[in-house]
């Protein structure tokens, strides 16, 4: 199974991302745009895993501790690609998110996963292979609270990418943290 760890979104936040995606679609000549239900923020891509690695991924998630925190979208931008760019909504610089990513990837590396070393650039992919005259731009900020991270299975079913949550690690509220 092909796995990744991601932050999933609340309905209202997702709707705002969909509006951004649709605006970009209107401005584009070509592109494969992310279906609403597939929008997510990847924290770590694990690739093809067996059952043993599935257990190790869950245990790496269990060992991260974080309190609920906020993420905000403030711009859309692109990664240049031959044949059409990948466009994304950018998550603003965010210490709790950076720390969560660092702890999670440290735990995964300890468990033997090969996690890419590139600097974490938190982005939500809105579409791929996009040809457009649109320019990267700042947008009116919107956000949501993050209360958990999810282990996601990625499958291609009838030609479509289907992402299913198979495990969830919740944050701990500060009152719970104070009790321990
Ligand atoms: P992307 O949106 O930047 O392409 C599920 O496929 C998620 O894992 C996507 O968000 C994707 O990031 C990421 N992903 C897919 N293949 C990857 C790879 N080889 N290395 C790193 N991340 C990958």
pLDDT value at position 175? Answer: 55
Q: Does domain 2-176 have CATH number 3.90.1140.10?
A: yes
pLDDT value at position 172? Answer: 84
pLDDT score of 50 more than 80: yes
Of all protein residues, the one whose alpha carbon is nearest to atom 4 of ligand 1 is: 125
72 in active site:
no
pLDDT value at position 97? Answer: 98
* 3 Cα to the center of ligand 1, angstroms: 10
123 in active site:
yes
Nearest-angstrom CA–CA distance, 146 and 148: 6
* 16 Cα to the center of ligand 1, angstroms: 22
What residues are in contact with ligand 1 under a 6 Å CB criterion?
4, 42, 45, 116, 125, 154
Contacts of 116 (CB under 8 A, 6+ apart): 45
pLDDT tens-digit readout, 145-180? 999 999 999 999 999 999 999 999 999 865 555 554
Nearest-angstrom CA–CA distance, 44 and 74: 22
pLDDT value at position 174? Answer: 56
Nearest-angstrom CA–CA distance, 56 and 134: 42
pLDDT value at position 177? Answer: 54
pLDDT tens-digit readout, 110-131? 999 999 999 999 999 999 999 9
Domain ranges of the chain: 2-176
Q: Which atom of ligand 1 is nearest to the CA of 42?
A: 10
- ∠ at Cα 64 (60, 68), nearest 5°? 140
* 45 Cα to the center of ligand 1, angstroms: 6
> Average pLDDT of 57-80?
97
What is the pTM for the complete model shown? 0.94
């Amino acid at each position: 199974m092909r796995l990744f760890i991601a932050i999933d979104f609340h309905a209202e936040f997702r709707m705002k991302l969909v509006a951004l995606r649709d605006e970009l679609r209107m401005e584009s000549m070509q592109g494969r745009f992310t279906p609403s239900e597939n929008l997510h923020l990847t924290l770590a891509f694990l690739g093809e895993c067996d059952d043993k690695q599935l257990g190790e991924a869950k245990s790496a998630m269990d060992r991260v501790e974080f309190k609920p925190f906020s993420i905000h979208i403030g711009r859309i931008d692109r990664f240049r690609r031959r044949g059409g760019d990948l466009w994304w909504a950018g998550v603003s610089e965010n210490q709790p998110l950076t720390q969560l990513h660092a702890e999670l990837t440290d735990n995964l590396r300890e468990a033997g996963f090969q996690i890419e070393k590139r600097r974490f650039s938190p982005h939500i992919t809105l579409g791929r292979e996009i040809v457009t005259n649109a320019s990267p731009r700042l947008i009116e900020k919107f956000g949501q609270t993050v209360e958990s991270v999810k282990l996601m299975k990625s499958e291609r079913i009838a030609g479509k990418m289907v992402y299913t949550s198979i495990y969830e690690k919740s944050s701990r509220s500060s009152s719970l943290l104070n009790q321990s």
